[in-house]
Chain A
Amino acid sequence: MSVQKYSISGRPRPTGSKVDLYVWWAVRLSSLALFVLALAHFTMTHFVFDPGDQSAEWVRQTRWNSVALRALDWGMLMAVLVHGFLGMRTVLQDYVPSRVRSLSLGALYLLALILFVLGTQVVIALPFD
């Protein structure tokens, strides 16, 4: 008997692999954080302010002129990396042939690491005005 991979709602809680179970939980817990953080972020950047007004100078002087706001955005970065890249792990596992699966997952995790470094660097190193 094969384990059902999809249910009517999506992906049932994995029962075989511990790693898959942790991934399942991580995707769902990060989704709760992102439901608030990402939608609030989109509201701020598109409805409260206009993308045309958010220059690099404005981000430095206004948007990121407090440690708390930078920490909040860094927290959103962590949630989005966990959610987006573990979600893409599932997508790759579904579609990529097994002979290149490890390679593609390795490339995926490497990309996540690079984006983690770039995002963390700018949050920490951008000077306060």
Chain B
Amino acid sequence: MSRGTGPLASPQKLRNYPSYRGGEGMAAWAFHRISGIGVWLFIILHIIDIWLIGVNPELYDYLGQIYSSPPGRVMETLLGAALFYHALNGMRIVVMDFWPALTVYHRQMWRIVWIVFFAIGLPGAYIILKPIWEAVG
């Protein structure tokens, strides 16, 4: 592919892609991509920190203290949100890829994604963040 033919080459090109026409499909796609890149960045850090258990356990334990500090817990909550959204919306994509007839229900499936996301995610966030105010109170 030569330069200038990519999906972001020009506004004219952008209009050729249904994902860029706005609405739930585009938002679902954009969140999927952003959350995927975010989780990927954490995975790089996470494989390196687990490697430290073998070569420098003291540094691993120090990182663990950062992860379990109040700012670390906020980051963990964001990581969990990115991972959970990516997992739920990913299953929505897989369902539509293998049963294309269900694509007509893509908006409804996206709403189900959000219902499950908040129904499980909010109690999950509470469990992760609880030690912050327990330490304060």
Question: Is A105 an interface position by the 8 A CB rule?
Answer: no
CB contacts (< 8 Å) of B3 on chain A: these are 97-99
- For the complex, what is the distance from the CA of A8 to the CA of B94, rounded to whole Å? 12
A38 vs B85: C-alpha distance when bound (angstroms): 12
Q: Which of B47, B84, B90, B91 contacts A118 (CB 8 A)?
A: B47
Total number of A residues with any Cβ neighbor in B under 8 Å: 49
Of chain A, the residue at the smallest CB distance from B44 is: A115
Q: Which residues of B contact A52 (CB under 8 A)?
A: 64-65, 67-68, 131
Roughly how many angstroms separate A29 CA and B65 CA in the complex, as a whole number?
35
Interchain CB contact under 8 A, B127 and A122? no
Q: Chain B interface: which size bin?
A: 35 or more
Counting CB contacts under 8 A, is B71 at the interface? no
Name A1-53 residues within 8 Å CB distance of B.
Answer: 2, 4-10, 13, 28, 31-32, 34-35, 38-39, 42, 46-47, 50-52
- Across-interface contacts of B51 in A (CB, < 8 A): 118-119, 121-122
Name 24 interchain pairs, CB-CB below 8 A, sorted by A.
A4-B18, A5-B17, A6-B7, A6-B19, A10-B19, A13-B97, A38-B83, A39-B84, A46-B127, A47-B128, A52-B65, A55-B61, A56-B57, A57-B57, A80-B43, A84-B40, A87-B36, A88-B37, A91-B36, A98-B6, A115-B48, A118-B48, A121-B51, A122-B53
